[in-house]
Structure 1
Amino acid sequence: MSKVILVTGAGRGLGTDIAREALAAGHQVVATGRRPEEVEKTLGGPQDDLLVTKLDVTSLEDAEAAAQAAVDRFGRIDVLINNAGNFFAGYFEEITPAQMRQQIETNLFGPMNVTRAVLPILRKQRAGHIITLSSSAGLIGQEFCVAYAASKFGVEGWMESLRYDVEPYGIRTTVVEPGFFRTELLVDASTTWPEPTIDDYAERTTATVAAWKSMSGRQSGDPVKLAKALLTIAGQAEPPLRFVAGADAIEGVEAKARELLAQAQASRELGGNLAYDDATA
């Protein structure tokens, strides 16, 4: 069944794959990006089922304009795929406060802006589906990922709680945790690499930047397969609340779940007896 799908960050990487696969499957696509001319060029020019429009996710005004343009063109929005994001790599002390804020502004407040613009349309329809790309780093802290993980952990809490807000209006939510996919996240256009600024970190920073850069283009995950999987989820009557994507991510999340359970059990003796003792109060 054809749906109207709004995709953020459609100018390159996974966003382009999602838009292409959605068009190939017969959906109507609103493909957005900061540079719409590049989005249109990447997707092959004007098409009847394609609307390309400008959207910088850090701008609520852009988000509202894109949502209105989608309704003006196609009459509705069925699926929002919050895909746009970037990556500030580095150790915490070498990431400036401004960079940390910019990371969270894009990766957390960005999808919040677009969702805020789309939700009135979905509520009016009493139907819709919000899919937001998080990361395995949204569930599992990793070295050199402190800013990125902070933003994605925020995405996890927001999306897990948003479900309860919007479910009464027929709106579904799915948060997606991909592992390593051969997208363009690690290219210089998407990643801000740190310069060594603190002697204690300098050797580790230099080595880790080199290791991460060497991984770009060699990740095991196929983004086209991920795009198709997301469209499968978008077509389900009861989509999952969480979709862990990639064998590496599944293995990592399973390990994290075991770790959390062990930590909860280890906390039981000291942490499980902290209530008021009403008998002696």
Structure 2
Amino acid sequence: MSKIIFITGASRGFGKSWAEALLKRGDKAAATARDTNSLNDLVKQYGDAILPLQLDVHSREAAFAAIQKAKAHFGRIDVVINNAGFGLQGAIEETTEEQARKQMETNFFGLLWVSQAALPVLREQKSGHIIQVSSFLGHATLPTLGVYTASKFAVEGLSETLAAEVKPFGINVSLVEPNGYATEFWGGSSYAQTEHTPLYEPLREAIKTNVKPEHFGKMEATNEALLKLIDSPNPPLRLFMGKVALPVVKQVYEQRLSLWEEWNDVAVAAHG
């Protein structure tokens, strides 16, 4: 039986690739974008199987309206993929208030609004799967990506809590955590940059030197992983994508555990 998928940020990158993979195998998709013209090629190829919807995830009201349009059109929603987001590159000191707020409005609050909008539909059905596109930077940090990383840490905490809250209603929640991929994410409208100051140039140069092309996965290779996640009768809370993520995060957690153990006597004494 084909599934009905609601996916945000379907104009490019992971969203476009995943929407096409789902449509190709016979699923139906309500695909959102700020400009639905970016979906014309999919409409031409897949016809009524795709419902293009204009959505700016900054608007909670618009998120609720888009979910209701998808429900009215297809009769149900089986899977919600919160993919809309962008990257902000720059040192924390360089980041303006406007940039920081926009990063959180898109990556965190947009995901929250769509999740809230979908939950009444999924609860009524007593089934559903919400897939939140996070990042391995929801566990680790990288200098000059601090506010972006903060948005993904927030997504992680929200979604793990949500998973516990909605499990009794038959709803699953999964976090997809890609490492770096060769997508349009770091270009065009999916990318923003602070006004760089010379103070942090040595740090930026050091990062560029250490980042190699092989650290970035091939976007099309994620399609099969996403389909397996959607089809799983018992989907995991978290799924890394790429070969870089797990080794990096394992090292981060080993260092954290070691430090916590080192300071545990101080921590216990603070209990009183």
TM-score range relative to shorter protein: over 0.9
Task: Give the total of aligned pairs.
Answer: 271
Alpha-carbon deviations, 1:89-138, whole Å to 9, x = none?
A: 10011110111111011000011011111111001011000000111111
How far apart are the structure 1 equivalents of 2:249 and 2:167?
26
Q: Which residue of 1 aligns with 2:219?
A: 223
Q: Which residue of 1 aligns with 2:17?
A: 17
Note closer, same or farther for the CA distance 1:97–1:208 as it changes in structure 2 (3 Å cut).
farther
Q: Which residue of 2 aligns with 1:235?
A: 231
How far apart are the structure 1 equivalents of 2:251 and 2:261?
15
Question: What amino acid is the match of 2:144?
Answer: F
Normalised to the residue count of structure 2, the TM-score between the two structures is 0.93
1:46 shift after superposition: 5.7
Question: What amino acid is the match of 1:36?
Answer: T
Note closer, same or farther for the CA distance 1:96–1:203 as it changes in structure 2 (3 Å cut).
same
Q: Which residue of 2 aligns with 1:269?
A: 265
Note closer, same or farther for the CA distance 1:218–1:257 as it changes in structure 2 (3 Å cut).
closer
How far apart are the structure 1 equivalents of 2:268 and 2:166?
33
1:227 shift after superposition: 2.5
Partner SS for 2:175: strand
Q: Which residue of 1 aligns with 2:146?
A: 146
How far apart are the structure 2 equivalents of 1:204 and 1:256?
20
Question: What amino acid is the match of 1:201?
Answer: Y
1:275 shift after superposition: 2.6
1:39 shift after superposition: 1.9
Partner SS for 1:260: helix
The answer to whether the 8 Å contact 1:15/1:83 transfers is yes
Q: Which structure 2 residues correspond to residues 1-281 of structure 1 after superposition, within 5 A? A: 1-41=1-41, 44=44, 47-197=47-197, 199-202=198-201, 204=203, 207=205, 211=208, 220-276=216-272
The answer to whether the 8 Å contact 1:182/1:218 transfers is no
How far apart are the structure 2 equivalents of 1:219 and 1:61?
39
How far apart are the structure 1 equivalents of 2:126 and 2:141?
37
91-100 vs 44-53, which moves further: 44-53
How far apart are the structure 1 equivalents of 2:46 and 2:79?
21
Note closer, same or farther for the CA distance 1:203–1:260 as it changes in structure 2 (3 Å cut).
closer
The answer to whether the 8 Å contact 2:42/2:50 transfers is no
- Unpaired stretches in structure 2, ≥5 consecutive residues: none
1:228 shift after superposition: 2.2
1:188 shift after superposition: 2.9
Partner SS for 2:181: coil
**Whose helix fraction is larger, Structure 1's or Structure 2's?**
2
Partner SS for 2:186: coil
1:55 shift after superposition: 1.1
How far apart are the structure 1 equivalents of 2:62 and 2:214?
34
Alpha-carbon RMSD: 2.0
Normalised to the residue count of structure 1, the TM-score between the two structures is 0.90
1:150 shift after superposition: 0.7
How far apart are the structure 1 equivalents of 2:79 and 2:46?
21
